Amino acid sequence: MQGSSNGDCDYMVLRLRSGRAYIRADKVGALKAIDAFIFDCDGVLVDIRESYDRAISKTVAKIFEHLTGRGIPEELLSDEIIFLFRRSGGFNNDWDIVYGALMFLLCEIPERTLRELSEIMDQLKHIRGAAERLSAIAERTRTYMKEPDAILLDLNNAVAELRDFTALLDSTGAASVDRAILGSGRAPGDLYGILRDFLLGSGRVGESIIATAFEEIFCGPSLFEEAYGIKPGIYFGPGMIENERLIVRRETLERLSSMSGGRLGIASGSRRFSAKYVLGDILLLFNPKAQIFLDDIEAAEAECAKMGLRISLKKPNPYPLLESAKGLEPFNLALYVGDSMEDAIMVKEALRNNSRFLFAGVYEFSGARDKILEEFLKFGCDLIIPSVNDIPEIMEALRG
């Protein structure tokens, strides 16, 4: 075991077969006392690099081409750029990354061309169905855009500027996209509002172009129809979810369950159906009262809206973690295991209400592995490990 420091805190460095683990020296005593474990799903239990991340890039490319008649390579949204969106702490929902990238790229085209595009959008805004609205604008764009060559972008420059643009974003997510673009003067407010409303609609799958296209691409036709009760109309290829692979081993969860008296929970921004699709019967190893998915979070937001409170309870809001923890009571200290800055910030926010949480950041299955490791060290996370499967070995080593 070696020592390391990030300037603000000291780490013990443990060499494992999977890579290096970093243990905060001042948190060793607390880590020994952990008697509950709560997990993010994507990037922790399941490898999503070829599913959610690819769905983001494919969705941006497909919608941009439908709107403008001009294709862009899917690789435009690289793993690095997706990471930079997530690093801000406000983009746990991948729909918001699609929104941010699309709005930026659309506002890069010349204003006269953008105005023509917004005029077409305004004429088609009465079409409620997302697939129908996207198909209609694709047809109109091909026919009526006066200067389609103006849509051509300097892609290298666009990528560089998009990378710089992510530095302006923060934990408010999509709202920070709006502030950054409007504040920069990249697009007039009236045009920007038309673009935003056309792409987002009600925000619901089936009506929002972004939500619908993303879910069709992620799920594939059969699972999309099964999950949402809507026939696909945008994408008919294999779903990116088919590329997901399990990270967590059953043995890992069984050992942690034995250490914690069965106190295993999930606090995730993914949907229950997609987690169940990949995890299968492994989901049974988690306490059902401590499983919080996006569906549960949205239901709670809907209840708040009925009382006139329009708030986001999604990460980095601590709601998912606090709700999962309720299902594991009584416990002394819970370790939340996540793979992003949203997760780290969520735990920090939860500590304002409840001091019984520690955070472990996993980095091996990130599309920007070295960058997220650097961010975790800079943030001062309690424990930083390559994989969720390393936790039992570390816990046993700490307990002597």
Question: Is residue 268 located within the same domain as residue 365?
Answer: yes
Cβ burial, residue 165 (10 Å; 0-12/13-18/19+): buried
Please list the rounded mean pLDDT of every run of 10 residues in the chain (400 residues). 67 92 96 97 95 96 91 88 91 94 91 88 92 94 59 71 94 94 90 94 94 98 96 97 96 98 97 95 97 96 93 94 97 97 95 96 92 95 98 92
Residue with tokens 């939860």: 350
- Report the distance separating Cα 129 and Cα 199, nearest Å: 11
pLDDT (0 to 100) of residue 153: 59
Give the strand pairing for 2-5 and 10-16: antiparallel
Q: How many residues are recorded in the chain?
A: 400
Question: Is residue 124 located within the same domain as residue 180?
Answer: yes
- What tokens does 93 get? 């929902």
Domain housing 230: 52-242
Contact 213, 63 (CB under 8 A): yes
- Containing 113, the helix (H) or strand (E) segment is helix 111-124
Q: Which residues pair with 2 in a beta bridge?
A: 13
- What tokens does 79 get? 């793993």
Question: Is residue 259 located within the same domain as residue 387?
Answer: yes
pLDDT (0 to 100) of residue 8: 72
My answer on whether omega of the bond before 318 falls inside 30° of 0, hence cis, is no
Question: Is residue 78 located within the same domain as residue 166?
Answer: yes
Question: Is residue 97 located within the same domain as residue 224?
Answer: yes
Question: Is residue 160 located within the same domain as residue 80?
Answer: yes
pLDDT (0 to 100) of residue 150: 46
Handedness of CA 351, 283, 30, 1 (dihedral sign): negative
- DSSP 8-state symbol, 110: -
pLDDT (0 to 100) of residue 158: 82
Cβ burial, residue 265 (10 Å; 0-12/13-18/19+): buried
From 71, 95, 15, select the one nearest 270 (Cα to Cα).
95
pLDDT (0 to 100) of residue 152: 53
Using CA atoms, how far residue 153 sits from 72, 97, 149, 311, in Å, is 9, 20, 9, 37
Angle at 290 between CA 288 and CA 296, to 5 degrees: 90
- In this structure, what CATH number is given to the domain that contains residue 317? 3.40.50.1000
Give the end of a domain, one of 216, 242, 268: 242
Number of domains in the chain: 2
Question: Is residue 179 located within the same domain as residue 260?
Answer: no
Question: Is residue 260 located within the same domain as residue 204?
Answer: no
Question: Is residue 106 located within the same domain as residue 234?
Answer: yes
My answer on whether omega of the bond before 316 falls inside 30° of 0, hence cis, is yes
Question: Is residue 92 located within the same domain as residue 208?
Answer: yes
Give the end of a domain, one of 242, 272, 303: 242
Question: Is residue 40 located within the same domain as residue 80?
Answer: no
Question: Is residue 251 located within the same domain as residue 214?
Answer: no
- Report the distance separating Cα 382 and Cα 281, nearest Å: 30
Give the end of a domain, one of 187, 215, 242: 242
